[in-house]
Amino acid sequence: MPAVLKAFGLDHASEAVYLALLRSPALTECELPAELGLTEGEVTAAYEQLTRLSLLRSSWEDPLVMRPVVPELGLKALLARKEAELARRRHEIEQCQAAIEVVLSEVACARRYTQGEDLVGVDAIRDRLVELGAGTRFQVLAFIPGGGQSEAARESSRPLDEELLGRGVDVRTTFLDSVRNHQPTTDYAHWLTERGGQVRTVPALPMRMIIVDRSVAMVPLDPERTDAATVLHGKGVVAAMCALFDLVWAGAAPLGDSKSRDPHGMSGQHYALLRILDQGDTDLMAARKLGVSERTVRRLISEVMDLLGARSRFQAGARAADRAWLR
């Protein structure tokens, strides 16, 4: 017989003993093991549980003999107890919900949303991301520069991404092309897409940026630091960031696409590197922006010089400008 009294807190042995005693009240504790195929220890434990739940009582005739309490009294009393507990828990939940609203209201006032929020420290940034994620309704847009992501970064992002995707939130993430050569980050990106997220890559990104519901954006306070950020809420500035994301996203390659070269033999990374160097950045800065090593930057420069037939970087830059490759 399937367990029917589990919801009342009875284990299998206790239920079997209680039902057997209801059917045959004259059965003794010594007879029940053989009757039910239980051990003496199981029957003793069942008696203790049934007594604790007030489903067994002492006989009026012999206080040493235990008799079952009829369901109309015993089980209904247990049900009333559970209903009272449920009502108490509901009251506690309502109090918790009210407390959350009070705290959120106070925090909102302290943040002065119209002026933005400055966050210093990795803990502060990650805690705020969790808060923003919990309030997300329909979309998260992200620029993730820096190339291959560290294990700590991936593991800290995984629970939030999983929760968002589980709720059906549209998650769009843009990485650098260089992550295609970093297997752990590529694996994480595939994990995102398998759960409904969208991942694309581009040769270079302007900055790290996360936009929530096209109304709130988190960006670095200083592009050179990863431990300081600001959260912006103004409609104008966030709208501009959304436009920037949409523009970059439209030109980005889905993760599954191969990164082919154009008829000139140039890849997106080559063009991005030319534009970065044209701005006067060093090889080190170019490496950071592309998410690659300085050695890779020098290799890419050598490839561009070969394609342009240039003997120097200056000559390569001039010929690239003549061919309008810097646009």
Note whether residue 104 is domain-resident.
no
* 92 occurs within a structural domain: no
Give yes or no: residues 205 and 295 share one domain: no
Is 0.85 surpassed by the pTM of this model? no
Domain for residue 94, yes or no? no
Q: Are 239 and 282 contained in the same domain?
A: no
Task: Please report, for the domain that includes residue 16, its CATH number.
Answer: 1.10.10.10
Residues 129 and 229 grouped into a single domain: yes
Residues 244 and 306 in one domain: no
Residue 74 lies in a domain: no
Q: Are residues 176 and 272 in the same domain?
A: no
Both 32 and 136 in one domain: the answer is no
Domain of 52 in residue numbering reads as: 6-69
Cβ atoms within 10 Å of 63's Cβ, excluding its own: 9
Q: With respect to residue 77, please indicate whether it lies within any of the assigned structural domains.
A: no
Which of the listed residues 69, 84, 102 is the one where a domain comes to its end?
69
Query: Does residue 250 sit in the same domain as residue 279?
Result: no
Counting the structural domains of the chain, the total is: 3
3-state secondary structure of 218: strand
Last residue of a domain, one of 225, 254, 283: 254
Strand 253-254: give its sheet, edge to edge: 117-120, 228-232, 216-220, 209-212, 139-144, 170-176, 198-202, 253-254
Assigned domain for 16 exists:
yes
Residue with tokens 């620029």: 143
Q: Which H or E run includes 141?
A: strand 139-144
pLDDT at 113: 46
- Continuous segment of H or E residues that includes residue 110: helix 71-111
Residue 102 in domain = no
In a domain, 309, yes or no: yes
Instruction: Output the domain CATH number for residue 180.
Output: 3.30.870.10
pLDDT along the chain (327 residues), means of 10: 74 87 84 87 89 84 79 84 86 81 62 64 85 88 84 84 88 87 87 87 86 90 82 84 89 70 74 78 78 79 79 78 74
